A and B are shown apart, each in its own frame.
Chain A
């Protein structure tokens, strides 16, 4: 059983489209995260939810909107995709302070 699963694994889409990436964790963790990893492998936090409540909202374009229907799921919706959105997006979860994060295997988004 995969602890943190993301779908799709690969996503190729045209500029201007709207797309969603889904994330589910079966670890019973309270906190979930979205990260963006760029072509230089830098990892940047985007959002974090704790028990369905948004707790971290870094400076990202408002075209990005997270949604957490329950504490096991955190989806990422992106409107009006741009070339610069091409990256690998990682979902992660943790149980709280002092606890390590479990990461999904990533979604490679390519905007053409």
Chain B
């Protein structure tokens, strides 16, 4: 069965410190990988994606993500967290064929001033 795991419901980090939000997946083949952010009372916004190529992907708002094929992981990172980064983050995986997206359960990030 296809699945996406975000093992941490909540991540707290001090402003200015690096942050990591973890994601692992179990999807057959070579799937496409995505990160989305959801601010309160808003829809999900696309941050970045991995299709192929360089394992380190850069996205919006200074975020980046590292793809690790052997560990089937796609962790979201940022070198220096801002208070405004506080939000709910979703990892999503899409098989290379078909139109389905599998979402993780979300990780709530709180950046402490």
- Which A residues fall within an 8 A CB radius of B? 4, 31, 33, 41-43, 45, 48, 50, 55-56, 90, 92, 94, 96-98, 100-106
Contacts and interface: CB of A to CB of B under 8 A. Distances in A.
Contact of B94 (A55, A90, A98): A98
B105 A42 contact: yes
B69 interface: no
Interface of B: 32, 34, 36, 38, 41-46, 49, 51, 88, 90, 92, 94-101, 103, 105-106, 108
B100 A103 contact: no
Given A43-B106, A98-B32, A103 B97 contact: no
Q: Which 8 A-B pairs have the closest CB atoms?
A: A103-B43, A100-B46, A103-B44, A43-B103, A105-B43, A31-B99, A98-B32, A41-B106
Contacts of A94: 99, 101
26 contacts: A31-B99, A33-B101, A41-B108, A43-B44, A45-B101, A90-B43, A92-B43, A92-B44, A94-B101, A97-B94, A97-B96, A98-B32, A98-B96, A100-B34, A100-B49, A101-B36, A101-B44, A101-B46, A101-B92, A102-B46, A103-B36, A103-B44, A104-B43, A105-B43, A106-B41, A106-B43
A24 to B, nearest CB: 14
